């Protein structure tokens, strides 16, 4: 991983203090309490919080405030990444700060980290204290997988230890036995901590729904649950199943699964773009060429993703399905139908992209995810809500963020166009405010350029 002296200076400059008072003048506010636009508003921010919102004709601009021109622009709450991965303790600090800045640069002001360690607990504190510029973090502990949680007793101890350590939630990984999963669910309920993430094959999505797993990410297990009981592939080897499984799935079960998800109050984090990358027939080199945002990550990481995509195509098996060709296209189609059914049934959907992950660049991946959510049947407002108000509801009462109103944390995005008219407008930024600190787009682009030059 290559890092230059210029890059180190860039990172050292990031954690500047928030301005004491700032005002967005004459801006169109999309408050996200419901689908509406409040025109020509003044939004006053003081000490990292929204102090006042009201018509420009009635709100007085405080003396000495930073004045941000908002005429003709749109102000929305900061977005969330509900399936992010935070760098571990062994990576250089400058790379960690790059990942954090890439989120913020794209208006992602909240991240739910889904694979954590004690270093992430410290990082959460440093960001909250203003020592490092980054999104507000919710942190998982080390994951619960076949090796780390090999028995119900071991899993139960892990649950208690992670709760005591101060992690926000537990990360469920592939490979868990059913009895181990059940022990995690029981212990999590006893100590009061959520468990979320994957659905192990031995568990299945119907049991995950029954167990009230807080969120099911990647639509994990939903397609497998569509395999009919009399499927001729149930006794086939993995290669044969991957080649043909998508063709035998029973779509008539989609609606019932979506309804069960909604009735149980389970949240879904679809990560559609990443999985469409997995199952597409695009080569790694083709993806490298079409994704300019890759220039903000280390060359070695991108090279690894290219090689991984090539290997996946050769292996012909991802989570039981074959990537590329007719089979891959069928998986993509069924995933979109599943998301549409979840939306139609009123299931809770939260925005997430599994970044950084295979061709999923922190922050930038949001702009690849949201158009797919619209193509799957969600409205622009619903997509925007899935990354703002809905996330605040996931974490508890709407007490701190997710909507624009007095008292909320000043995590905001100023846009040049209305995102309710099209989610592509979420990329048309005039600037980002994170906990009261204003980053104009010119400053964001300058820092991005330095990151790209230092890779």
**Rg of the Cα atoms in the chain:** 22
Phi-psi region of 117 (alpha: psi -120 to 50; beta: other; left: phi over 0): beta
Average pLDDT, stretch 129-150?
96
pLDDT in tens, 324-366: 778 889 999 999 999 999 999 999 999 999 999 999 999 999 9
Among the listed residues 196, 356, 359, the one whose alpha carbon sits nearest the alpha carbon of residue 291: 359
Gap between the Cα atoms of 285 and 249, Å rounded: 32
Q: What is the pLDDT of residue 6?
A: 34
Q: What would the pLDDT profile of 80-120 be if each residue is shown by its tens digit?
A: 999 999 998 899 999 999 999 999 999 999 999 999 999 99
Q: What's the pLDDT tens digit per position in 41-77?
A: 999 999 999 999 999 999 999 999 999 999 999 999 9
Tokens representing 223? 């397609």
Which are the contacts of 427, defined by CB distance < 8 A and separation ≥ 6? 106, 367
Specify the pLDDT at position 327. 85
**Per-residue pLDDT tens for 385-425?**
999 999 999 998 766 999 999 999 999 999 999 999 999 99
Please return the burial class of 13, using the count of CB atoms within 10 Å of its CB with bins 0-12, 13-18 and 19+. Answer: exposed
**Residue % of the chain over a pLDDT of 90:** 85
Classify the C-alpha dihedral 241-243-244-250 as positive or negative. positive
**For range 256-264, the mean pLDDT:** 98
Domain assignment present for residue 125? The answer is: no
Please report the pLDDT score of residue 12 as a whole number.
Answer: 38
- Listed range (10-24, 112-126, 283-297) with the worst mean pLDDT: 10-24
Domain region containing 21: 5-77+402-453
Residue 410 domain-assigned? yes
Residue 433: inside a domain: yes
Quick: pLDDT tens for 179-225: 999 999 999 999 999 999 999 999 999 999 999 999 999 999 999 99
Confirm whether 332 is domain-assigned.
no
Q: Is 60 exceeded by the pLDDT of residue 11?
A: no
The reply to whether 253 falls in a domain is: no
- What is the structure's pLDDT at 59? 98
Cα separations in angstroms, 257 against 173, 221, 455: 21, 11, 45
Cβ 306 vs Cβ 287: under 8 Å? yes
Can you give the CATH number for the domain in which 423 is found?
2.30.40.10
Q: How far apart are CA 342 and CA 330, in angstroms?
A: 18
Q: What is the DSSP string of 389-453?
A: HHHHHHHSSSSSSSS-STTSB--EEEESS-GGG-GGGGG-EEEEEETTEEEEHHHHHHHHHHHHH
Pairing label, strands 108-113, 79-84: parallel
Lowest mean pLDDT: which of 154-163, 253-262, 276-285?
276-285
* One-character DSSP codes across 202-253: TT-HHHHHHTT-SEEETTTTTTGGGS-TT-TTTTS-HHHHHHHHHHH--GGG
Q: How many structural domains does the chain have? A: 1
Of the pLDDT bands very low, low, confident and very high (cuts 50, 70, 90), residue 19 is: low
368: in domain: no
| Mean pLDDT score across all residues of the chain | 93
Instruction: Kindly state the helix (H) or strand (E) to which residue 139 belongs, with its residue range.
Output: strand 136-139
Residue 62 in any domain: the answer is: yes
């Amino acid at each position: 991983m290559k890092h230059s002296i210029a890059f180190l200076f860039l990172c050292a400059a990031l954690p500047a203090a928030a301005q004491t008072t700032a005002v967005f003048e004459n801006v169109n506010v999309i408050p996200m309490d419901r689908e509406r636009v409040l025109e020509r508003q003044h939004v006053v921010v003081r000490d990292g919080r929204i102090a006042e919102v009201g018509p420009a004709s009635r709100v007085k601009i405080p003396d000495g405030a930073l004045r941000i021109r908002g005429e003709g622009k749109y102000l929305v709450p900061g977005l969330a990444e509900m399936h992010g991965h935070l760098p571990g303790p062994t990576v250089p600090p400058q790379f960690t700060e790059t990942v954090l800045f890439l989120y913020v640069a794209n208006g992602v002001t909240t991240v739910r980290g889904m694979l954590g360690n004690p270093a992430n607990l410290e990082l959460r504190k440093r960001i909250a204290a203003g020592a490092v510029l980054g999104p507000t973090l919710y942190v998982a502990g080390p994951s619960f997988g076949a090796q780390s949680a090999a028995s119900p007793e071991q899993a139960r101890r892990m649950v208690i230890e992670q709760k005591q350590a101060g992690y926000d939630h537990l990360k469920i990984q592939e490979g868990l036995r059913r009895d181990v999963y059940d022990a995690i669910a029981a212990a999590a309920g006893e100590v009061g901590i959520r468990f979320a993430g994957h659905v192990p094959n031995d568990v299945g999505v119907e049991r995950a729904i029954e167990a009230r797993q807080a969120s099911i990410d990647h639509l994990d297990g939903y397609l497998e649950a569509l395999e009919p009981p009399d499927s001729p592939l149930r006794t086939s080897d993995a290669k044969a199943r991957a080649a043909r499984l998508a063709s035998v799935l029973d779509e008539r079960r989609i609606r019932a699964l979506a309804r069960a998800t909604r009735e149980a109050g389970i949240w879904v984090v679809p990560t559609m773009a990443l999985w469409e990358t997995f199952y597409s027939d695009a080569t790694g080199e083709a993806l490298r060429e079409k994704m300019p945002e890759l220039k903000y990550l280390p060359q070695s990481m991108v090279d690894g993703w290219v090689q991984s995509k090539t290997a996946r195509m050769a292996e012909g098996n991802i989570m039981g399905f074959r990537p590329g060709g007719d089979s891959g296209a069928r998986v993509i189609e069924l995933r979109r139908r599943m998301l549409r059914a979840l939306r139609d049934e009123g299931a809770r959907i939260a925005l997430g992209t599994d970044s950084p992950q295979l061709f999923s660049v922190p922050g930038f991946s949001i702009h690849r995810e949201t158009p797919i959510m619209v193509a799957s049947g969600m409205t622009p407002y619903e997509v925007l809500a899935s990354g703002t108000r809905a996330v605040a509801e996931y974490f508890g009462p709407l007490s701190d963020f997710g909507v624009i109103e007095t008292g909320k944390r000043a995590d905001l995005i100023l846009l040049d166009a209305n995102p309710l008219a099209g989610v592509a407008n979420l990329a048309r930024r005039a600037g980002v405010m994170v906990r009261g600190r204003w980053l104009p787009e010119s400053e964001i682009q300058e820092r991005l350029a330095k990151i790209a030059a230092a890779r």
